[in-house]
């Protein structure tokens, strides 16, 4: 039985409160389908039953919220941001960090790991001396516990490695594991995965030199986008670099960043001292 409109509204309000993900009315069929699947995993009859039980149980509310995330991703997604990262951003960051020889990259909303492992492969392929001689930290975060478990395991099905991963890199960085492919330990240990909900205060962290936060702001309303961009502005290195998804921009959302075009894509940099003025401007 499809969810009643009252149940759908309850789920929509709970999910936006817990994650900021906006579920449009047009997504009601998707909500139904995902909740039916989740209900079966939980040994319940259908979406209506799991929604009723979740009203008094925060564990189920977390599971429902996780089930509403869209985890679509691929290796070297959109390719050009990785070209800009390799050819424009990294050479600059290497100059900026030559004294400390420390590099900290934050990959937020990292889904099942293809994005942070693509970053790690780019570093290994093009900057081996940085990998070997610098302190390199790639922190990958996501809201969803189950998706982080998949990312940590680093095991991918054939159809997944078929999406954007160049064949030579498959040979160099993966081991065959039955029908699947497992990330080699050298690459796996370059990435640490942590649970982090972008709408909550960020935990203490060093200032990231580079932030990838791609294809997640699209799910949020303008105020939430602005708030997240504002807190990233505060935490990131003043000389840092920000990568957003192809359909995302800081323009018209947060005035504290300058936009730079390069390698067929755009990236952003914080404008010194602009964060609060930028917030006030919108």
Give the whole-angstrom CA distance, residue 35 versus residue 33.
5
Q: How many CB atoms lie within 10 A of CB 206?
A: 12
Q: Does 118 bind ligand SAM (CB under 6 A)?
A: no
Q: Minimum Å distance from CB 128 to ligand SAM?
A: 25
Closest CA to 238 of 223, 224, 254, 257: 257
In terms of C-beta density within 10 A (0-12 exposed, 13-18 middle, 19 or more buried), how is residue 64 classed? buried
Q: Does 20 bind ligand SAM (CB under 6 A)?
A: yes
Q: Does 215 bind ligand SAM (CB under 6 A)?
A: yes
Q: Contact region for ligand SAM (CB under 6 A) — 33-41, 109-117, 175-183, 258-266? A: 109-117
Please report where in the chains the tokens 């159809």 appear, as a residue. Answer: 159
Structure tokens that stand for 30 in this block = 């998707």
Identified binder of ligand SAM from the candidate list 69, 237, 250, 265, rule CB under 6 A: 69
Q: Minimum Å distance from CB 27 to ligand SAM?
A: 14
Phi and psi for 82 in degrees, rounded to 5?
-75, -30
Phi and psi for 194 in degrees, rounded to 5?
-140, 150
Q: Does 214 bind ligand SAM (CB under 6 A)?
A: yes
Using CB under 6 A as the binding rule, the residues of this chain from 217 to 236 that contact ligand SAM are 219
Q: Does 237 bind ligand SAM (CB under 6 A)?
A: no
Q: Contact region for ligand SAM (CB under 6 A) — 3-11, 104-112, 125-133, 164-172? A: 104-112
Q: Does 16 bind ligand SAM (CB under 6 A)?
A: no
Closest CA to 96 of 244, 214, 208: 208
Specify the pairing of strand 174-177 against strand 180-183.
antiparallel
Give the whole-angstrom CA distance, residue 130 versus residue 40.
48
Q: Does 121 bind ligand SAM (CB under 6 A)?
A: no
Residue 208, classed as helix, strand or coil, is: coil
First vs last Cα of the chain: how many Å apart? Answer: 44
Q: Contact region for ligand SAM (CB under 6 A) — 34-42, 106-114, 236-244, 257-265? A: 106-114
DSSP code for 26: G
Cβ contact 177:155 at 8 Å: yes
Give the whole-angstrom CA distance, residue 18 versus residue 185.
34
Residue closer to ligand SAM, measured from CB, 20 or 242: 20
Identified binder of ligand SAM from the candidate list 146, 164, 245, 262, rule CB under 6 A: 245
Closest CA to 31 of 61, 64, 58, 56: 64
Q: Contact region for ligand SAM (CB under 6 A) — 34-42, 51-59, 142-150, 264-272? A: 142-150
Residue closer to ligand SAM, measured from CB, 175 or 195: 195
Residue closer to ligand SAM, measured from CB, 196 or 275: 196
Using CB under 6 A as the binding rule, the residues of this chain from 23 to 62 that contact ligand SAM are none
Using CB under 6 A as the binding rule, the residues of this chain from 79 to 98 that contact ligand SAM are none
Helix axes 47-54, 58-67, angle to 10 degrees: 130
Q: Does 216 bind ligand SAM (CB under 6 A)?
A: yes
Identified binder of ligand SAM from the candidate list 48, 54, 144, 265, rule CB under 6 A: 144
List interacting residues with ligand SAM (CB under 6 A).
Answer: 19-21, 69-73, 77, 109-111, 115, 142-144, 147, 197-199, 214-216, 219, 245
């Amino acid at each position: 039985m499809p969810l009643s409109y009252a149940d759908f509204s309850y789920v929509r309000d709970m999910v936006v409160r817990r994650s900021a993900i906006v579920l449009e009315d047009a997504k009601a069929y998707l909500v139904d389908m995902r909740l039916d699947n989740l209900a079966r995993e939980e040994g319940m009859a259908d979406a209506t039953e799991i929604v009723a039980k979740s009203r008094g149980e925060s564990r189920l509310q977390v599971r429902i919220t996780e089930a509403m995330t869209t985890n679509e991703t691929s290796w070297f997604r959109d390719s050009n941001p990785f070209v800009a990262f390799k050819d424009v951003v990294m050479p600059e960051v290497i100059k900026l960090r030559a004294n400390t020889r420390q590099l900290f990259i934050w990959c937020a909303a990292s889904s099942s790991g293809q994005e942070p492992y693509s970053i790690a492969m780019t570093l290994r392929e093009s900057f081996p001396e940085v990998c070997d001689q610098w302190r390199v930290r790639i922190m990958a975060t996501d809201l969803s516990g189950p998706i982080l478990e998949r990312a940590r395991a680093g095991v991918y099905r054939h159809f997944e490695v078929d999406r954007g991963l160049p064949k030579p890199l498959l040979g160099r960085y993966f081991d065959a594991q039955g029908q699947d492919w497992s990330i080699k330990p050298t690459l796996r240990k370059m990435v640490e995965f942590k649970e982090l909900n972008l709408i909550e205060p960020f935990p203490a962290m060093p200032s990231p030199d580079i932030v990838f936060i791609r294809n997640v702001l699209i799910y949020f309303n303008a105020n939430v986008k602005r708030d997240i961009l504002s807190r990233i502005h505060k935490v990131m290195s003043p000389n840092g670099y920000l990568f957003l998804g192809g359909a995302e921009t800081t323009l018209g959302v947060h005035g504290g960043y300058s936009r730079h075009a390069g390698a067929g894509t755009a990236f952003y940099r914080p404008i010194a001292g602009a964060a609060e003025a930028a917030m006030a401007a919108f």
